[in-house]
Structure 1
């Protein structure tokens, strides 16, 4: 069971990375319908019947690379769903039954978000929700694995528990800002460091930038917001990144003072510095694909690690009452 959970978590990470690749290569509508591709099961069939495919979607020319990116993401996500279903069934008679059911419910909702991403033509709030849902699936899998480990920690430090929780909230908000930046195609509107070029503060427009339900559009591909709104989103993501990074590094230093938590602190320092470096590289080199995908993957690893840290620093029951879970 533990090996299945780890394998499923690894696959969930792959799904997140492939989803980022699909989004960043503008392949989110590589197949403009759902669950098939131009009305066929695979892009190969769509290509073999290209005239029929194009008659169904005359405004969406068939691009095989984008179609395969989109369908590949769906195939892998479907496999992830089957593996989570297996975990839910195997955990039915264990203390983690509720956890398994929560995972199953979440992955089904993720499937719905994947459908709405296509049918609502990349509506930003749906795209961001789909990203956050994927990170939640990965985090719940990591937490399930942690819950099944017999090792428990006696740590009576409420301040550290509070700091870990605050850092997690800040990180989730930062990831949501990143998802909102990507969903609104605002990643390259500011091309200088440390904040943005020109008198950016004079165009600050949070009311438009953070309106979750945007005006109706035939498609949200490539974004519908004006420069001021996109700039506001981008700058908000940068400014909150500073706050988040400082919180994470502060937490890491606190963790490194404890022998049992030292490795978690080191991991947090390394991941935070890499993530900041990737963010800066995205600005300097204008969002190169490998760096942008790596930035998404780094965010997933940071969230998963911080969820595990929050679980780890919680005060636990005495050793005599520990629940040992068979592997």
Structure 2
């Protein structure tokens, strides 16, 4: 095992897949000469050449249009959209082209495309147009797989699997996680899509969380463990396909559940997970389903307002306490 940052785990995954398969290439704003705004593709243009590391104009529509066409004709593009907020510019290419080609062609056309976004999440004072969490938009689109890793191990293994997948994958990277560290194997590995990870085993309450929220929940879980309360922490890792079985098995075991995401709570992915639990495990619940998310407003620029906007460890701890009290 070796210690590596989330950023470098992504870098390794792309480099290894480009070395393994010459049909894999990367394109996007500043991915070539500049090497990506976070340095993920630094040195790639020298190693793989301009044909496979393509700097593009500032046009998300052009990036995705070219990537979809390349995927349909046998290549495996990794299209980088600098911030997830900018995917709104190219929704037609994602929703009406990439997601639907396999179905509209009766399975004759594949679209092996990975759309990477560098800029999920708040915390950088990047304001309303560079800080959103939009995973719920994509999980609503049939034909798109949605991946959101929270650790270096997950980031590398899930990205390698995504690149090898024959369907389009939205791969969402949280900007606050780039320089977090974790252990990964020295040897090659992949992680199947649709398999959740139980980050911590417990019997008293299930907490389901994604990306940056996973790390906050794990800290809170350590605090509760000192009081003799064991929290089971589940990271779905992919929202579509969603590992419903792991979630339901945990909820049936603990009888209590809290869902924590950074996205706006209203209409978020947490709402869908809560609905699934209510439909399939209602009789096992000992307390109402808890949900934490951001308020339904644009992400503020002001540092204290942004701090208020992002779900906090204190909020997570208080909500868990309330759920536990309700079940007693």
Q: Pick the structure with more helix per residue.
A: 1
Q: Which has the higher contact order (CA 8 A, sep 6+)?
A: 1
Q: Same fold (TM over 0.5)?
A: no
**How high is the TM-score relative to the length of structure 1?**
0.27
**How high is the TM-score relative to the length of structure 2?**
0.27
Q: Pick the structure with more strand per residue.
A: 2
Larger Rg: 1
